[in-house]
Each structure stands twice: as structure tokens, then as C-alpha cells.
Amino acid sequence: MKMIRQVLPIAALVLCPASALATDPTAPVASLMALAETNWSASASGYEDYFSDDRLAALYSTEFAELYRKAAATEDAKEMGSPFNWDVIVNAQDGCPLENLTIEPGSSANGVTQVVARFQAMACFGTQAEFQAYRETRFTVVVEDDQSVVDDIVTDLDGDVLSVKAILRELAQTAN
């Protein structure tokens, strides 16, 4: 009987790998954090947009993607090339290659899962505690069309909670 219990989860993955992995709430976060690691690596050849059309369609909720597109249509965003003038995933304008990245699913209720990415983003600047400190980015993940997608990105800015979705909503209201 023990063998059957061990084989069934593996058989489920083999028989329907897309659906088994599609609802993994850490999957879209892992994708974004891998991109953040690439963007912040010492050998980065250029910046890849977290909000490209392909990523908006695959990694983000419909509402988040719509808000982003509206916010990106504002005059300021068009001029800057983005609604943001900082990296909203790492919550920084300057930094180092990311170190010691972990991604953990947190609480889950009413179809919403909080996923936490924890990392060091300033370690190359020195050994002082302020540079060795860990940062956290919290992702609100929902399931749409049997796919886990990011519905918000939340960071802490000097003790204040910073919701990317709230910022997008505010910016979208100013779009023509």
C-alpha cells in the first residue's frame, strides 16, 4: 500500500503534467525571480521587462495585466518607457546580484495564496548589516483558467506597504 501512495503523485504528474504544475502557486513567482536574478546578475547584457506582453499574458492575472496596460499608456510612462522608475520585484534602483533567494508559499485562503521571495540584494556593497539584510517581496497568487498567476506584488518601503497593483490602479486612473 505504501508503494501505491508514492506512485500515485508521480503518475498524476506523468499523466497530466501541465495541470499538475499549472496550479503551483510558486511557479509564476519562480519565473519572475529567475528573471530578477538575470536582470541583476553581474553578467547581465540588458534588462528584460517583467511586464512584456508575453509575461503579462502568462504570469499575471487579467486584472493586473489590464491595469498595467492602462498605466503604461500614461504620458509619463510612455516617456520613461515604463510606469515605474525602479525594479518593483526587487524594490530597488541600485543593487547587486541577488543572493540566497528562497521562494516559499505562505498562507492560502479563498483561492488566494501568498508567496514570499526572500533574498539579499545589496550584499556586494559591504559586510555591514544593512548590506547583508534580507528583503522580502510578497506575491499574491490566484488561479485563473487553471493557471496560477500573480495578482499583486507587495514590498515594504521603510515600514510602509507598497502594493504594485494599487500603484497601477492609481496610475491607470490618470490615463487618457
Chain segment 4-37, per-residue pLDDT in tens: 333 334 343 344 444 444 689 999 999 999 999 9
Label the pairing between strands 160-163 and 112-120: unpaired
Write down the pLDDT at residue 176: 57
- Are 55 and 153 spatial neighbours (Cβ–Cβ below 8 Å)? no
Pairwise CA distance, residues 58 & 125, whole Å: 35
Positive or negative, the Cα torsion across 6, 12, 14, 18? Answer: negative
Chain position carrying cell 556586494: 124
In total, the chain counts a number of residues equal to 176
Cα 28 vs. chain centroid, distance in angstroms? Answer: 7
Residue scoring higher pLDDT (116 or 22) = 116
Pairwise CA distance, residues 103 & 137, whole Å: 10
